[in-house]
């Protein structure tokens, strides 16, 4: 095992997390963290647990990787020599020390310093001096659902070995993240990527500019809300319907989502981002890193189609999308940005859907229950319109909806969730095949206000001229964009991407602006397709320049 530091470009699956992390302000970055708890076997000591974690750090290079934009060009991941992982302890005993809940809250909510901190924090909770459970706080850059499962299997095997005094047998490590990064830099991977991006270019050309356009309102003081509906009935029903249609339960949910959203918005197309694992898309599918990326889904809802027809259209789009999903997310964002400029209107992709199967967890409820959650402050800081997360548990389906008041008020959110359940359950009867208009009547959505002017961003320029920077804000933005992207000159009439800027480098642009004493814009505002002159107008000068 080499003790040398080595680095490579970010893997494609890490890039959406990289952008999301830098889109969020520091106080909200814990929204990207993954927290897991593991019950420990009797006989596991703190010393043994520490040795186990340090062994895993040696075994998996991802656990000793940092992420940097302090180099010319694109950001890099840097693998460090093996070392000791800090292990915090928290006692459940009333001994005057910090309570476990407080320790875990602190570790879970503090943002990771990507350039300095390894992507895993560990805390062992003890009772009577004996370790009871291990809490891990994980940086999403290095982890997805598959990776968490792999780490859990390793931990279980090693802990059992310590408890029994027998050697643990672990799955072999065939590849590390830098192997994947090298593959993604190859000629073959580039050719496959170019073909997939051509597919997405055509898809984006057909995207609605704003799925929520007919419903979006101007709100000077918007609020974010979160509610969750737990339904035992939906679990078996979705499986029965899927079996009848010879498909997956997840597609039943994608179809139901599309129908309810179309019924609410009144639009002909429903576009959103869903998540796909990408584990079968390359020869390095066992790599311990994040491979999951957002997949741009849009469902054609023209002609008031029935559930069966929407299912067919959804399955077709999802199949084509998955076939072309293995691309760098930043380059997908660049395509959306360029299409915004072509249309002269900023395209919104601000709705997300995430389907998670968690068979080890149970809801322990007998009837449908809806609850309102605390305000999702961290999620709201990201800027999405909505986020729908589906948890398929061992005894229920939990549908959690987060939404900004600009697109869904509290009444509409409750109708959406209860209507979602009603639409899915109705199709347990093979004779039922609701149309979108039926869904709208069933749920009771009011019709969108006719003739209301759309609420949107400043339009992107359709015929930009070649304008040099004027004013301090424009001059510093032009200089930073040129420096970070290696450009000779920048026209302020161009958007960031049209000017030649790489979306993956926007976090460095923001850091350089802060160094010069300017702030006030986000990753996706810069990437959105507006002219750089409009972006400069959003900048505010900080009290002191640190340049």
pLDDT over 70 at 115, yes or no: yes
H-only helix segments in 427-505: 436-443, 472-485
Q: Which domains does the chain have, with CATH numbers?
A: 6-182 (3.30.559.10), 186-443 (3.30.559.30), 472-541 (1.10.1200.10)
pLDDT tens-digit map of 157-170: 988 887 788 888 89
Most distant CA pair in the chain, distance: 74
Output the pLDDT for position 1: 56
pLDDT tens-digit map of 296-319: 999 999 999 999 999 999 999 999
What's the half-sphere exposure (Cβ side, CA atoms, 13 Å) at 226? 14
- Rounded Cα distance between 499 and 14, Å, is 25
pLDDT over 90 at 467, yes or no: no
* Residues of the chain above pLDDT 70, percent: 95
pLDDT over 60 at 464, yes or no: no
Output the pLDDT for position 167: 84
Average pLDDT, the chain: 93
pLDDT tens-digit map of 493-507: 999 999 999 999 999
Output the pLDDT for position 462: 45
Contact criterion met (CB below 8 Å) for 216 and 455 = yes
Q: Which stretch of 38-47, 60-69, 124-133 has the lowest confidence by average pLDDT?
A: 38-47
Q: Which two tokens stand for residue 117?
A: 């901190």
E strand or H helix that includes residue 227: strand 224-231
- Rounded Cα distance between 513 and 312, Å, is 48
Residue position matching structure tokens 């054609």: 300
Helix 249-265 vs helix 436-443: crossing angle, to nearest 10? 70
* pLDDT tier for residue 218 given thresholds of 50, 70 and 90: confident
Please list, residue by residue across 431-467, b when 16 or more beta carbons sit within 10 angstroms of its beta carbon and e when fewer do: eebbbbebbbebbebeeeeeeeeeeebebbbeebeee
CA distances from 298 to 270, 317, 344 (A): 5, 7, 21
- Rounded Cα distance between 456 and 252, Å, is 32
**Helices H, strands E: what count in the chain?**
17, 16
pLDDT over 90 at 239, yes or no: yes
Output the pLDDT for position 43: 84
Output the pLDDT for position 42: 84
* pLDDT tier for residue 461 given thresholds of 50, 70 and 90: very low
Query: For residues 434 and 162, which has the higher predicted lDDT (pLDDT)?
Result: 434
pLDDT tens-digit map of 307-361: 999 999 999 999 999 999 999 999 999 999 999 999 999 999 889 999 999 998 9
pLDDT over 60 at 523, yes or no: yes
E strand or H helix that includes residue 89: strand 87-91
Residue position matching structure tokens 């061992």: 394
pLDDT tens-digit map of 54-75: 999 999 999 999 999 987 899 9
């Amino acid at each position: 095992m080499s003790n040398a530091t080595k680095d490579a470009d970010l893997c494609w699956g890490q890039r959406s997390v990289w952008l999301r992390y830098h889109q969020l302000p520091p106080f909200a970055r814990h929204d990207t963290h993954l927290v897991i708890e593991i019950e420990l076997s009797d006989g596991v000591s703190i010393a043994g647990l520490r040795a186990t974690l340090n062994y895993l750090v040696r075994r998996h290079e991802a656990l000793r990787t940092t992420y940097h934009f302090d180099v010319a060009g694109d950001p890099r991941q840097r693998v460090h020599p093996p070392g000791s992982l800090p292990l915090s302890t928290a006692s459940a005993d009333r001994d005057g020390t910090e309570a476990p809940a407080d320790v875990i809250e602190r570790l879970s909510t503090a943002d990771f310093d990507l350039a300095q901190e390894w992507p895993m924090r560990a805390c062992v909770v003890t009772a009577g001096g004996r370790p009871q459970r291990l809490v891990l706080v994980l940086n999403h850059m290095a982890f997805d659902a598959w990776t968490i499962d792999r780490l859990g299997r390793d931990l279980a095997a090693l802990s059992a070995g310590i408890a029994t005094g027998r050697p643990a047998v672990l799955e072999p490590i065939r590849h590390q993240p830098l192997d994947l990064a090298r593959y993604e830099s190859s000629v073959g991977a580039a050719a496959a990527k170019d073909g997939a991006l051509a597919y997405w270019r055509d898809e984006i050309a057909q995207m609605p500019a704003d799925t929520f356009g007919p419903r979006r309102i101007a709100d000077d003081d918007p609020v974010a809300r979160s509610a969750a509906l737990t339904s035992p009935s939906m679990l078996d029903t979705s499986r029965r319907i899927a079996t009848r249609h010879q498909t997956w339960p997840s597609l039943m949910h994608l179809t139901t989502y599309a129908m309810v959203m179309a019924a609410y918005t009144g639009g002909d197309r429903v576009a959103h981002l869903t998540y796909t694992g990408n584990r079968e898309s390359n020869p390095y599918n066992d790599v311990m890193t994040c491979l999951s990326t957002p997949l741009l889904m849009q469902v054609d809802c023209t002609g008031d189609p029935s559930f069966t027809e929407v299912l067919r259209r959804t399955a077709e789009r999802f199949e084509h999308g998955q076939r072309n999903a293995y691309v760098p997310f930043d380059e997908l964002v660049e395509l959306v940005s360029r299409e915004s400029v072509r249309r002269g209107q900023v395209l919104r992709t601000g709705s997300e859907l995430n389907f998670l199967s968690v068979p080890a967890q149970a809801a322990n409820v007998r009837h449908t229950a809806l609850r309102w959650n605390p305000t999702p402050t961290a999620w709201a800081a990201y800027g999405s319109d909505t986020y729908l997360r589906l948890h398929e548990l061992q005894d229920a389906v939990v549908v959690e909806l987060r939404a900004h008041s600009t697109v869904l008020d509290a009444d509409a959110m409750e109708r959406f969730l209860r209507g979602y359940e009603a639409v899915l359950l109705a199709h347990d009867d093979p004779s039922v095949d609701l149309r979108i208009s039926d869904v709208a009547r069933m749920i009771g959505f009011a019709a969108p206000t006719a003739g209301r002017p759309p609420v949107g961003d400043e339009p992107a320029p359709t015929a930009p001229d070649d304008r040099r920077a004027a004013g301090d804000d424009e001059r510093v933005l032009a200089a930073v964009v040129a420096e970070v992207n290696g450009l000779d000159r920048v026209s302020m009439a161009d958007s960031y991407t049209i000017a030649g800027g790489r979306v993956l480098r926007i976090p460095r642009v923001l850091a350089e602006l802060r160094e010069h004493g300017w702030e006030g814009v986000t990753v996706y505002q810069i990437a959105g397709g507006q002219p750089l002159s409009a972006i400069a107008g959003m900048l505010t000068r900080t009290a002191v320049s640190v340049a």
